[in-house]
Amino acid sequence: MKKALLVALMGLMTIIAANAAVDFQNITITLKNGQVIKRDASQLDHVTYVGGKFNQEGAVGIKLYITATTSEDYLYSQIKSIVYDTTTFTRIISTDQLEAGKRYIIVCEDKSGAMGGIYNNNYRSIVTSGIKLNNGTATVENESNVSIFTLGGSNGSWTFNDGSYYLANNSSSQLNSVTSATNDNAKWIIEIELNGNNTTITNKQNTSHKIFYNSGSYYSNFNASTSGTAVQLYVEDNGGSVIPTTVAAPSFSPAGGTYSVAQTVTITTTTSGATIYYTTDGTTPTSSSTRYTAAITVSTTTTIKAIAVKDGVSSAVATATFTINSGSTTDNNVNANWNIPGMNIPKSKADPSFTNQSTDDYSWRLEFPHINTSSGNQRVVKATADYGITYSIEWDNNKIANRWTCYTMCAKNNEDNTQRQDSFKADPAVTTSPSNSYTQSSTYSRGHLCPSADRLCSEEQNKQTFFMTNMQPQYQNHNGSSCWATLEGYVRTKWQPTNNTDTLYVIKAATIDNVTLNSSYISGIITTTTDGSGQILVVPKYFYMAFLYYTKSTNSYKAFALWTEQKQSNNEAPSSVITNRISIDELELRTGIDFFCNLPDDIESTVEATATYWDNSQ
C-alpha cells in the first residue's frame, strides 16, 4: 500500500501547490479499512501535507518522513481520521466560523488559560498548563485537561457538548452540566465583537447571563454572570478533523410531482462542503456524473437522481420525477389523500389495528391523529350524504370527554347555505354522552371544537356540530369573542381554499390528561363540573388547534399549532396566541398525541419541526 500510494501522490504533486512542511508531533492515522497507524515524533524526520491539510479544499494526502529519504504516504480518500497529540485551535473572528459538528474551546486570553472540567458541582476551572496561547492560536498538549466542546444546534440555539454532558446555566451564575440539551438553559447565543477578539456567549433562557472568567478571594473560575473578564472562542484547525461517516442525501425544490408549466429545480444538501452530482437519464449518479452548479430547468417529464459527495463519502441516491403536463388544469380536489407520494392507502398509521379498508373507512385520512385504543374509547365520524364528512372525534367514555375533533376545510364544505341551528343534544353514538346542558351554565358555556360557523353548507351538517360530544366546558370569557371564537374566526377569514391550496386539515381539542410544559408534568384539568343529568365532566385547562395544509405548486406541506390556557378572566389575546404559535413537534411533546401521523415519515418529520404559518406576511 505504501509504495502504491507514493506513486499516486508523486503524480498528483505535479498539478497541485507545493508541499507544505509542518512541525511534527505524535500522530495517529485511522484508515477506512480499520488499519491504525501510530507514529511518535521521535520516529519522524518531518511531515508534509500534499495539497493542504486534511479536509481542506484541494487537499490530497500526507507524507510521513521516517528519514530524509524514506517516507510513508497516505491518500486522504482512504483515511477516516488523523489525530495529533498536540491539537491546534484558532480564535474565531466571525460567526461564519460557527459550524455544528466542529470542536471548540473557551479561552480567557487575559488569564492565559482555557476552560477546564467542572468542579465544586457548578463551576468550570481554568487550565493554564498543557495549553499554549500565542496571538490568536492555542496549542493543546493534553486534551484530557481542557474542556473541548463539540458545537451543536444552530444560530441562536447553540449547544456545547464535551462528550458526555452539555454546558448549561441555571438561574444563578453557575455553569453546570446536563445530559440533555432540550431546555433553553443548555442553549447559547454566540456573538463576536467587531474587533474580532472577544466572544459573547449568552444563555438563551437567562439572557442576562453571559460566560465570563471571574477571580475572587475564594474562587477563580468560568461562570455565567453579568460581568467579568471577557472570553474568546477558538475552533479546532482542520488538521485533526474527521472525515464524515455519512453525507446527507440531496433534496429538491420544488419536490417532484405533476406540474402544468416548466419548473426550475434547485438541489441542496445539508452537509457543508459536499459536492452534488446528478443524472437525468435514469442512471444512478456517481462522482463522474454531471456536477450540479446551478438550478436545472425541467420543461418535459424528467426524473432527476442526485448524490452528495464529501471526502470520498457518497450519500444515498435522491430521486425526484417531474411530470410536466401543459394541458392539465388544477382544480379543488377535496381530500385527495391518495395522491400523496409515498402513501400506501388504505394502510393507516393512525390506527395500529387497521388492516384493510373494509374495517375502517376513515382513519387513513390526513386529519386523523394517532388513535388511542384504550378500553372505553370510541371513534365517531359524523357525515352527510351531500357534503361528506362533517368531522370525526375520539370520545373517552371513562372521563366523559372529547379527546379530539378533526375535520377538513375546503371549497365545498365552506359554502354558506344555512344559519346556526343551536340544536344542542346528547350524542346517541357514544356510551356516555353529556346531556344538552351544564348545571353551572353561568360559569361554563358549551364550547364547540368543530365550530358551527365552519359548517354552514347544510342544515344537517350544522346540526351535527351541536352534538355534545363536539363540546368542551369553557369559561365564556375564553369561549367567546375574547379568545377561542376570535381564533376560529381568524382561521376562517385568513385561510381560504384556492386552486393551489385546496384543503386545510384541522385538529381541535382540549387537555383531559396531564401535560408536559417547560419540562414539568402537570395536570391539564382545572376542575370538574356536572351536566344536566348529574354526570361529572372535566374542565380542561388548555385548548389547542393544529393545522396542516398542502401547496400544489411546490408539492409541499406546512403545519403549525395554536395553544391557549383557559382562564375565567384575563385570557391571552388572540393576536398573542397567533404570534406565539408552536410547532407540531412541540404540541406532541405537550400532549403526548401523535398528530398528522398518516403523512409519510420523511414529510412528517420535516413539516412538524417548525411552526410554518400559511401567511408569510405574518
* 110-114, 235-239, 382-386: range with lowest mean pLDDT: 235-239
Q: Identify the pLDDT of residue 306.
A: 93
| Interval 291-334: pLDDT, tens | 999 889 888 888 999 999 886 678 888 898 888 764 433 333 33
CB atoms within 10 A of CB 73: 21
Nearest alpha-carbon partner for 320 in 350, 347, 285:
285
Between 288 and 171, the higher pLDDT residue:
288
Query: With 70 as the cut, is the pLDDT of residue 16 above it?
Result: no
Whole-number Cα distances in Å, 37 to 28, 52, 83, 351: 6, 20, 11, 54
DSSP string, 193-206: -TTS--EEEEESSS
E-assigned strand segments in 9-112 = 20-22, 27-31, 36-39, 46-50, 61-65, 71-75, 79-84, 87-91, 103-108
Whole-number Cα distances in Å, 76 to 89, 300, 356, 477: 21, 41, 53, 68
Helix/strand/coil for 337: helix
Which residues are 37's β-sheet partners? 29
Domains of the chain: 2-84 (2.30.30), 87-240 (2.80.10.50), 251-324 (2.60.40), 367-607 (3.40.570.10)
Q: Report residue 338's pLDDT band, with 50, 70 and 90 as the boundaries.
A: very low
SS (H, E, C) 238-250: HHHCECCCCCCCC
Q: Identify the pLDDT of residue 82.
A: 81
Whole-angstrom distance, CA of residue 7 vs CA of residue 579: 63
Between 234 and 23, the higher pLDDT residue:
234
Whole-number Cα distances in Å, 300 to 32, 260, 296, 491: 42, 10, 12, 38
Output the average pLDDT for the chain: 81
Whole-number Cα distances in Å, 19 to 12, 53, 61, 158: 11, 10, 10, 37
Does an H or E element contain 306, and which?
strand 302-310
Whole-angstrom distance, CA of residue 148 vs CA of residue 135: 20
DSSP code for 575: H
Q: What is the pTM of this model?
A: 0.48
- Within 8 A by CB and 6+ apart from 563, the residues are 542, 543, 544, 577, 580, 581, 582, 587, 590
| Interval 205-229: pLDDT, tens | 999 999 999 887 667 788 898 999 9
Whole-angstrom distance, CA of residue 234 vs CA of residue 140: 11
pLDDT-above-90 percentage for the chain: 34
Nearest alpha-carbon partner for 446 in 454, 458, 436:
436
CA 79 to chain centre: 32
Burial pattern 106-126, b for ≥16 Cβ within 10 A else e, equals bbbbebebbbbebeeebbbbb
Which residues are 199's β-sheet partners? 192, 231
Query: Cell numbers 417548525 label which residue?
Result: 610
| Interval 445-500: pLDDT, tens | 999 999 999 999 999 999 999 999 999 999 999 998 779 999 999 888 887 777 66
Whole-angstrom distance, CA of residue 290 vs CA of residue 248: 19
| Max mean pLDDT range (250-254, 345-349, 582-586) | 582-586
- Within 8 A by CB and 6+ apart from 360, the residues are 348, 351, 354
